[in-house]
Amino acid sequence: MAPGVRRYAPSTIARYLAAINWEHERRHFDPPGKHPRVRDTMRGIRRDDPPPIRRAAPLTLKLLQRTLRAIDLTNFERGAINTRDYALILFGFVGAFRESELVATDVSDYRLVPDEGVRIRMRRSKTQQDGDGPPKVIRFGSNPLTCGPCAFVRLYRLQVAQRHHGESGMFVALKDAATDVHICDEGLPPHEERLDPAAPFFPSVSKWGLFRETRLTPTAVGKVVQSRIRKTGLDAAGFSGHSMRAGFITEARNAGATDDEIMNQTGHNSAATLRIYDREYTPLVRNASTRIKL
């Protein structure tokens, strides 16, 4: 190893130190990590070797539209996963969801509200741990391609088709699937054909192309985003599940949305957090240099 190059990252050292502290406390000894000299040493290590900050590339509106257009909703073999991924990415963007929030939702959390869109009850989130936070709304879109309620109705009906009519029902539901006309006004199936309220709305899909009863994981959301971007022919490096949320904030800021308007959808508690997005993704918004005539 070259001189001056650290063998371990600061985070690795901190993790080792935490393990040492835990073992000392378990044996009723004073943890060495709490000694002032050790604390000062750790602060110096972090200051001299700060970790690189990795920001997810934003899934902007144009890229979102390109990604959705590349999803074939009529492909019977991949109809379930394609329909799910379509709704997942669109909801993740419009709702500015964190990956964990999105996959934690159940069927009972969704309600189609006339003249509003899809209202989603938030169970728990990073900033709302008690489960009684304000709902998110996926509003009706003028473009069928990016209309969240259309994607909601499509995914709901396809899951019902499999549950009540099997593969033949799915085939019927998929053969006329299209994104150039609105289907949100068709509503949900009759009550006797509704999904189990306790079932996950975004389920995993089996290798045979059928919806399963298990819930999609937060890690899988990032893989879905990267996979779908690659299918557009673009490099997916830098994209993750957080790209949908970052893309929403970027587009909202470019459209002139205020801090309060953005926070109402993202669920941020502090406008200071939005400044990070401003510096990273929209550096010219509210920047004095734009007022100078160059």
| Residue 145 pLDDT grade (very low, low, confident, very high; cuts 50, 70, 90) | very high
* Alpha-carbon distances of 124 from 103, 106, 135, 148, 260, rounded to whole Å: 11, 12, 11, 22, 21
pLDDT tens-digit readout, 166-191: 999 999 999 888 899 999 999 898 88
* 18: confidence class by pLDDT, cuts 50, 70, 90: very high
Per DSSP, which regions of 102-192 are E strands? 110-113, 117-120, 136-139
What's the pLDDT score for residue 5?
Answer: 61
The helix (run of H) or strand (run of E) holding residue 145 is none
pTM over 0.75: yes
Q: Considering only 36-50, 60-74, 120-134, 180-194, which range has the smallest mean pLDDT?
A: 120-134
Q: What is the pLDDT of residue 104?
A: 93
Q: Estimate to the nearest angstrom the gap between the alpha carbon of 197 and the chain centroid.
A: 22
Question: Whole-angstrom Cα distance, residue 107 to residue 115?
Answer: 21
Instruction: Provide the percentage of residues in the chain whose pLDDT is more than 70.
Output: 93
Distance from C-alpha of 118 to C-alpha of 148, rounded to nearest angstrom? 7
- Mean pLDDT of the 213-242 span: 95
